[in-house]
Structures are given as C-alpha cells and as structure tokens.
Amino acid sequence: MKALSSRAFRVIPGTSYKTPKELWGFRTEPGEGSPSRVARRFLDLNRDCLGIRQALDRLLLRRVVHGLGAHHVILQQRWRRRRVHRGYVTVHIDLQGRVYLVKSRAVPDDILKETREARIGDARAVRAALARVRHAGGRAGVVGRPELLWFPAKRLVHPAWRVRIHRTKPRAEYIVYVNAETGTVIQVYDNLAAAVGRATVFVPNPMARDRAWDPLEADGRVRHPPPAAYVPVRLTGLSGNGRLDGVRATTRLTRRRVRRGALDFSMTHQRAGFEEVSTSPGPARLTSRPRSRLWAENQKGEKVITGKAPAALVSRG
C-alpha cells in the first residue's frame, strides 16, 4: 500500500478545524493482514492528508464491523487517558483489502494541547445534571458512574462530565454533559426519545456475486433467495407506535401498513409488507432523499443508499 497522491482523492472539509472530515473517491492497493492492520497502515501513510500527524498513537480500536461487501474499522480518539466525545476515525475497506473511504472526527493535536484540566468534581456535576432534568412529580437518580471526558464544542475542547440520569415520572432517561471547568450544563440528550425496532432486510449481493446462481428452478419456478440474502438489523429513531414512523420518515400513506407491537419487523419476501419494511444492512434509521431513493443511517452517522423507497414514504424534513 502506498500513500495517496494529492490528486487521487476528494475531500470534504471540516467545519471547526482546518482538517478534512472525509476522504473519498479513491481506492488503494490491497493491504496485507487484518482489517484493523490495514486501517492502521493507511492512516500512518496518510496522516498528513488527515491532519492527525501525532494523534495516531491515541487512536484505540473501538470495533470492527464486518459487512457483506466491506469491513468498517472504527477507532476512538483519546487524550490524557480520557476519550474524546465523538472523536471517531472510521476506515472503510472492501473485501480485497482496499481502502476506499475514510471519515475523521479526530481533534487535531494543536487544539488538544490548548485544553484545560477539570476544576469541579463529579459530585457537583451530578447536582447540576439533576437540577436540569428533575421533575416535581417523580424521582431522579444517577445510573452508573459519571465519566470525565473531552467535549468538542466548535473549535475548543472542554473537559466535561457525562452523567446518565433515570427519572421515574414522567418516565425518562437523560445523558447530561456538564462543563468540568464552570459547572454549567453543555448538552442534554434524551436517551428515550425514540424507540428501537428490529427488521430483516434483503441484500441481493450473495446472488449477484455468484455467477452460477440460477434464479429459476428446474421446473421453471422462481427460486427463493437463500438465507444469506436476509440480514437482521436494528431500526433506530422509531416513534414506538408499532408502525414504521420515525424522526425522519413515515410510511403512513401506505395502504394496509404493517403493525408490530414489539417493533419486530423481521420477515422474508413472501410476507405482505416486506417492501415497506426492507431498507439496508446495518443499524438503520429511515430517512428519505430526492429521486425516490431510500437511505439508511448507520451507527456512525453515515448515510448509504439502499435502493428505491416505498411509494408512500413521506419525508419529515
């Protein structure tokens, strides 16, 4: 594997730092070894392009997602033994070991060197978090131990406490980020704002790659897709009403919509409603884009096209 030349790729620039947040439009030579080893090698060769010259030693392997057509290596940035909130670098590698896409949310070293240490303890952070989400009608308590991390806010990076709180009435769960310098609340995230469902999606890749696969039986009947063509996925961002309604899209105009009280939309192509349900492999959140295309958003926030959308898919903006 060689370093990318300046004209061999395209760049999506970052908004807060003078470093690219995405490199695309290229395909490297096949790398040797495991996907994580290939990813490390690529980052080492192209650290100048990504603007993370000194940060490679502080990128810890978070997980490797193995898909039907690619491997996705996710690395977590750390600084002074604490993780950087959403400081991920993701390297996408095809099955031949060729890198074709890199996304970086890593904070440059010069910005990290400007960070200050925490001035308040976890007890004060918990009090601030509870005061922000407490309700007179119920009780609120901390779940687990507060975590001290680095929270990027535009250009600057602040030490912050991450506090997870469960409230009984009205029932809710929040993740609150408290500035560890000033004690003020930076962000409140509603952890129960959307429900998570399950589904089975159809992926034609196993049949498309097999040139010997015959779509017809010996008697002329259509052959059913093999089990490998169905992939279980998580559907996030659902409203929880038992139907395919969510924060980004809804199929409410579809006639005789599928309804699942447990939000389990797993089904094969023979079942009624399969076209309404099927999206794409990977933890997905339904959304829509122009030209009647259905997209899915995975756990890293990456949007990938999946095929034609149901005719009655309505965008929520």
Question: Average pLDDT in the 296-311 region?
Answer: 38
pLDDT at 303 over 60: no
Q: Percentage of the chain surpassing pLDDT 90?
A: 36
Query: Which residues on adjacent β-strands are paired with residue 265?
Result: 199
Q: Which residue has the higher pLDDT, 171 or 82?
A: 82
Specify the pLDDT at position 311.
38
- The fold of the 10-108 domain, in CATH, is TATA-Binding Protein (3.30.310)
pLDDT at 193: 67
Whole-number Å distance between alpha carbons of 229 and 15: 39
Q: Domain-by-domain residue ranges, the chain?
A: 10-108, 122-190, 195-315
Burial of 290 (0-12, 13-18, 19+ CB in 10 A): exposed
Q: Strand 172-179 and strand 185-190: pairing?
A: antiparallel
Q: Average pLDDT, whole number, for the chain?
A: 79
pLDDT for 91-150, tens place per residue? 999 999 999 999 999 998 888 888 999 999 999 999 999 999 888 778 889 999 999 999
Percent with pLDDT over 70 in the chain: 81
Above 80 in pLDDT, residue 287?
Answer: no
- pLDDT > 80? residue 188: yes
**Smallest Cα–Cα separation from 304: which of 312, 296, 294, 316?**
296
Whether this prediction's pTM lies above 0.75 is answered by no
Q: Which residue has the tokens 């023979």?
A: 270
| pLDDT at residue 147, as a whole number | 96
Phi, psi dihedrals of residue 223, rounded to the nearest 5°:
-80, 140
Tens digit of each residue's pLDDT (9 = 90 or more) over 9-22? 898 888 888 888 89
* Closest by CA position to 1, among listed 36, 46, 57, 34: 46
Higher-pLDDT residue of 296 and 52 is: 52
